[in-house]
Amino acid sequence: MNRRVIEQLGGKETWPLAGDNIIVDFDLSQANLPAGKRLRVGTAVLEITAEPHLGCQHFKARFGAEAVMFVNSDAGKALNARGVNARVVTNGVVCLGDALTRL
């Protein structure tokens, strides 16, 4: 999930509540990361999947109905405001502060 989105929804202290494995300062939009695009983080390689990552009941309970409406809106979906799903292509080690790069 993009750190700028989560910070708008509640601040840095709420990052763990989102339940995401990785919070990044990176353009996660569909235009920048279409399904199939690969990323390197640490020594791992990830591939963006087509399955959308949308706000659910857990997200709603933690951040409110307005947050879910935003991340699930047409604009929110285009930006992947709720984040993206990815599969591991190459196992690796990921550490706090590792760079995320498009491959």
pLDDT tens digit string along 66-85? Answer: 999 999 999 999 999 999 99
The CATH number of residue 24's host domain is: 2.40.33.20
Q: How many domains does the chain have?
A: 1
Distance between CA atoms of residues 86 and 47, nearest Å: 5
pTM of the model: 0.87
Distances in whole angstroms, Cα of residue 8 to Cα of each of 5, 41, 97: 5, 24, 21
Q: What would you measure as the largest C-alpha separation in the chain, in angstroms?
A: 37
Residue 11 has pLDDT above 90, yes or no: no
Range(s) of the domain holding residue 17:
3-102
